[in-house]
Amino acid sequence: MAEIIRMPKMSDTMEEGVIAAWLKKVGDQVKPGDILAEVETDKATMELESYEEGTLLYIGVQEKDSVPVNGIIAIIGEKGEDYKHLLEGGSSAAPAKKEEAPQAAPTAPQSAPAPAEKIDTSSINATVITMPKMSDTMQEGTIATWLKKVGDAVKSGEIIAEVETDKATMELESYEDGVLLYIGVEAGNSVPVDGVIAVIGEKGADFNTLLKAHQTSGSAAEPVAESKPSAAPSQEQAPAPSVAASPAPTAAPVSSNSNERVKASPLAKKIAQDKGLDIRQVAGSGEGGRIVKKDVENFVPAAAPAVAAPAATSAPVLGQESFREEKVSQMRKTIAKRLAESKYSAPHFYLTMEINMDKAIEARKSMNEISPVKISFNDMVIKAAAAALRQHPKVNSSWLGDKIRYNDHIHIGMAVAVEEGLLVPVIRFADSLSLSQISNQAKTLGAKAKNKELQPKDWEGNTFTISNLGMFGIDEFTAIINPPDACILAVGGIKETVVVKDGQMKIGNVMKVTLSCDHRVVDGAVGSAFLLTLKGLLEDPVRILI
């Protein structure tokens, strides 16, 4: 039976995805674990994996085109199977490119739900499993893969599925003992928080009655694909002939003799992608054959894969104007949207101050002689900012529209540049951490951000943010406030320059910092007092340790 493949929601801010490349074309055989396409989201470019076996009958989205979440992107079924009735009953969010003659619907609509009435389920020994809320911003989750199938025995504590949230894939743990009686969401589909995804209970339990009772109670939305609005689309994508000639020449070669899903850590996949390796050729040394970082780093291909040479293009004539245009990535769209909202909704003002870093340079050199991890100047700025926030709690605040929140805890967001844009992992309770602990956390979170391994707890809850461009030779800059914070500190590089001390000109090391403030929350005097305290702590670093 043909199955609709829809665009999964891979991030809490994702509204649409872009097909970066199709790795299969209409008419190709598809097996579970095969990668159908690469999808560009707001956070990363991710692989769209098939969980169905059959023939790719229909492609609804051309490469480089976008499709809204839950829009139809493909159909997989038996060769020659009629799939047009699925398009007629599909989501109206499916993209429409070409007009097709209307056809009479061959099948009747889905039967209406049972009328709301009290259903006795006291004798049914089974439990409905709903989609949990895995982060404070999560609205939907996508079932990446099911690790159990209907009929399997399940014990409390076992992992039954992997769920994709906005920035990570997380494990869904069972808290019930019994048999997996029902799966309500196919792998690759999304379901809202509290939507029904499965039923676990004793073998033979009447789960259909339990589901009807759950539905009539109005406590959750039906998660299956047919529950989307059934308004018929006015246009359809022309079927196979128009898209069959859309190969994906840029895709890395994929081994076709593997029927199983590749088990690999996200870091291993990222390293393999960066090295241009086919991860299916790498032997895994982890638990259950899982491919880990060292497997990819130590892998030596038997022979370099033959890559088709790109079509030769003539070099532009001297003085000839030329350009190229690229569609905006999903991460860049999100950055543009959030920072534009911050810039134009929060009245920014800026305070800049010079800080003499001579003593900080000496203190860092001395501390690194005994510290278990190398302490950076950025670590010292984070520690000093946390200590200054403790003395100036009005800076450690958020604008909530009709009220201002003054945070008692201090969580420092640390801006990290990644290839696709910018992420802000959070160092929690920074004021209570030692410099070596801050250094260790900063290095760990920075590596996770670059390798796309951050978990929800790693990026949520910042109360103040620091952005440091000093390592790029930037003397000073202004940063846009990172909501929900009221302030962000922009840190420039340390520059050797002439300073006047005790009426004498001397060579000193100076660092400029600029505090961007939301004037709805923080006034000039409050921000200035904070910077004076920060200056005092960095110019005499011993005070940070008290």
The residues that are catalytic are 519, 523
CA 254 to chain centre: 25
> Kindly report the CA angle at 93 between 88 and 98, in degrees rounded to 5?
65
Nearest CA among 76, 57, 74, 55 for reference residue 17: 74
Cβ atoms 290, 262 nearer than 8 A: no
Distance set, CA 307 to CA 44, 249, 454, 533 (Å) = 24, 9, 33, 58
Bridge partners, 465 (sequence order): 413, 488
Q: How many residues does the chain have?
A: 546
Neighbours of 108 (CB within 10 A): 6
> Distance between CA atoms of 519 and 284, rounded to whole angstroms?
54
> Distance between CA atoms of 369 and 263, rounded to whole angstroms?
42
Nearest CA among 489, 424, 432 for reference residue 462: 424
DSSP 463: S
> Distance between CA atoms of 173 and 194, rounded to whole angstroms?
15
Cβ atoms 464, 412 nearer than 8 A: yes
Residues sharing a CB contact under 8 Å with residue 293, sequence separation 6 or more, in sequence order: 265, 267, 268, 271
Tokens of 76: 């997989």
DSSP 80: T
Cβ atoms 487, 480 nearer than 8 A: no
> Distance between CA atoms of 533 and 84, rounded to whole angstroms?
68
> Distance between CA atoms of 311 and 377, rounded to whole angstroms?
48
> Distance between CA atoms of 219 and 130, rounded to whole angstroms?
10
Per DSSP, the three-state class of 498 is strand
Per DSSP, the three-state class of 380 is helix
Cβ atoms 58, 43 nearer than 8 A: no
Dihedrals φ, ψ of 198, to 5°?
Answer: -165, 170
Determine how β-strand 504-518 pairs with β-strand 348-356. Answer: antiparallel
